[in-house]
Structures are given as C-alpha cells and as structure tokens.
Amino acid sequence: MLRIIWVLWPSFLVAGVAEVIFFTVIDPQELYLFGEPMHLSKIATYSIGFLGFWAVCAGSSLLTCFLQRSAAEVNKGVGAGSSSEEGCGK
C-alpha cells in the first residue's frame, strides 16, 4: 500500500503542474491525433491529458522505486525467492 501511494501521489502532484503548464500554452484545438484534428471535446482532452500525464509520471516514480532497491533486496530475490516486502526508498 505504502509503495502504491509513493508511486501514485508524487506523480499526481507533478501531473497537475504539467497539465496546467501544457494546456495554458497549447489550445487543445491545435492538437492533432494521428494526423487528424482532434474530435474530442475540450473537457475530454483536458481530462485525458491529465490522466496521461499522471500515467507517465507514475511510470517514472515506479522506476525510481524499482531502482532504489538495495543490493541486498535484489540478491535476496535470487536465493530466497521473496523480496517484495521491503520496498521503495530503503
């Protein structure tokens, strides 16, 4: 649970900032989707944009969490077969 929050919460905050900056500068109507102008409503574009930012940021947080595992935790997985309990930031 703790790790899920560590991944989802900071990414939520950063996605919020990214959303505001991105859509202040860019009007959704100027966006193209696979070469076609977007047919989605603006509210839908903003919403999908936010969820997209969130997903990307969460991906980054997830990788950070994954890479922060200590050598001992990684090695433990090879021998004992369980390393998932100890997590992020240790």
Residue 2-31 contact track with another protein, rule CB under 8 A, x = bound: x--xx--x---x------x---xx-x----
Cα separation of 66 and 21, whole Å?
28
Binding residue (CB under 8 A) for another protein from 31, 33, 41, 59: 41
- Other beta carbons within 10 Å of 15: 21
The answer to whether 42 contacts another protein (rule: CB under 8 A) is yes
- Three-class secondary structure of residue 33 per DSSP: strand
N residues, the chain: 90
- Other beta carbons within 10 Å of 61: 19
The answer to whether 46 contacts another protein (rule: CB under 8 A) is yes
The answer to whether 47 contacts another protein (rule: CB under 8 A) is yes
Interface with another protein by CB under 8 A: which residues? 1-2, 5-6, 9, 13, 20, 24-25, 27, 41-44, 46-47, 88-90
